[in-house]
Amino acid sequence: MATAKGIEITKLDATPRGLMEAGSGTGKLRVFMDTIAAETTDIDDDDVIMLAEVPSNSKIISIKLYNDDLDGGSGLVTDIGLYNGGTKFTDTDGSATAYAAEQVIDRDCYGTLSTDLRAAVTAGTEFRFETMNINTIANFVWEDAGLTSDPGVPLRVALTIETVASSAAAGDITMVVQYVVN
């Protein structure tokens, strides 16, 4: 019989005992929930619907989307990704990319080409691992965004309309994001 250990348990069993990464073995679970009563003008091509804000040094464990039917046809497609919050910052990598308030960082890091808004989803669809590997569960949000260091500012989880509805309809969209902070 073999015994295998995860990354954080291996650190705890080391001599001397290793330090666990903030939020991986301890931390506080937080939830950000928001709803928009989306109008047909909110779901045009490249429109952005921001529905959650989380600290850049948090670790997202779940992103669930609930929605009414916003497309009587078959055209509406969305991405789920990260945008900057209300504070501009500059990435510390060699490119020194400056991000303005509410600027896109990675529009589809959590979900790409989702068709959920085409029909009512009342049970919720999980998007945390739709595009990311399950081994990214311990990533900080800034790592999910593809940044090289923690900017120390809130980042926003948002939907970006990829393809417009063939028969747009107004309706509610709700997002529930669970995350861990130290």
User: Across residues 145-168, what is the average pLDDT?
Assistant: 94
Banded pLDDT at 62 (limits 50, 70, 90): very high
pLDDT in the model for residue 158? 98
CATH numbers and ranges of domains, the chain = 30-181 (2.60.120)
What residues form DSSP beta bridges with 173?
36, 67
Peptide bond into 55 cis (omega under 30): no
pTM over 0.95: no
- First and final C-alpha spacing in the chain: 35
- 7: pLDDT strictly greater than 90: no
Consecutive H or E run containing 44: none
pLDDT in the model for residue 63? 98
**What contacts 90, CB < 8 A, 6 or more positions away?**
96, 97, 98, 99
- What percentage of the chain carries pLDDT values higher than 70? 100
Banded pLDDT at 10 (limits 50, 70, 90): confident
- Least Cα distance to 81 among 45, 112, 37, 115 occurs for 112
Reduced to 3 states, what is the DSSP secondary structure of residue 4?
Answer: coil
- 58: pLDDT strictly greater than 80: yes
Q: Give the tens place of pLDDT for each residue, 66-76.
A: 999 999 878 89
Q: Report the b/e string of 107-146 with b at 16+ CB within 10 A.
A: bbbbbbebebbbeebeebeebbebbbeeeeebebbbbbbe
Q: Give the tens place of pLDDT for each residue, 72-131.
A: 878 899 999 999 999 999 988 878 899 999 999 999 999 999 999 999 999 999 999 999
- 26: pLDDT strictly greater than 90: no
Consecutive H or E run containing 109: strand 104-114
User: Which range (4-8, 45-49, 139-143) has the least confidence?
Assistant: 4-8
Outline where DSSP puts E strands in 11-103: 28-38, 48-55, 59-67, 77-84, 89-90, 98-99
- Least Cα distance to 161 among 110, 102, 107 occurs for 107
pLDDT in the model for residue 8? 79
Query: Helix count (H) and strand count (E) of the chain?
Result: 2, 10
